[in-house]
Amino acid sequence: MSTSWIVVADRSRCSTYRRTQGMALEPIERINHPEGRMHEHDVAGDSAHALRAASPKGKNNDAEATVFAKQIAEHLRLGRDGHRFDAIVLVAEPGFLGLVNAALDPATRALVRSEVPKHLTDLPLGELSKQIPALLPG
């Protein structure tokens, strides 16, 4: 039986679900990255004014998104190394999807069967379960 991991992510959270052919969607892990939601002054603290003066707006938030994308890629690499899935479906807001793709190693990237540029992290499991079959590869 084929097992897919469906990864639903944005810049501050990632939920991983397992779907085995013919079985229900099963949540297996949630990773939170609250720094992805923070504004530059929240992350930089007292030096926020100096940081804003020295860098383009949002640079720190983009750096945090890249850090989180690498964390997700490592999570997927470990799952691949453990033979926990045969295929990956990536679902993420469009800009973040590109960051996750860039962070994947070639062997893990080869297991990506579908990419969905949508922001679905707010959907409850029941609603997500209804949408997932359409996202899975043939």
Q: Which pLDDT belongs to residue 60?
A: 62
Q: How many CB atoms lie within 10 A of CB 90?
A: 23
Q: What gap in Å lies between CA 67 and CA 38, rounded to an integer?
A: 14
Alpha-carbon 61 to chain mean position: 16
Q: How many CB atoms lie within 10 A of CB 127?
A: 11
- Helix or strand or coil: residue 107? helix
If you search the block for the tokens 């030096």, which residue do you land on? 47
Cβ 113 vs Cβ 89: under 8 Å:
yes
Structural domains of the chain sorted by starting position, each given as residue range(s) with its CATH number in brackets = 3-34+69-135 (3.30.420.60)
Cβ 48 vs Cβ 58: under 8 Å:
no
Nearest to 116 by CA among 90, 136, 86: 90
pLDDT, tens digit only, all 138 positions of the chain: 789 999 999 999 999 999 988 788 899 999 999 886 654 444 444 444 433 333 344 556 889 999 999 999 999 999 999 999 999 999 999 999 999 999 999 999 999 999 999 999 999 988 888 887 776 655
Q: At 31, which amino acid appears?
A: I
Nearest to 121 by CA among 59, 32, 56: 32
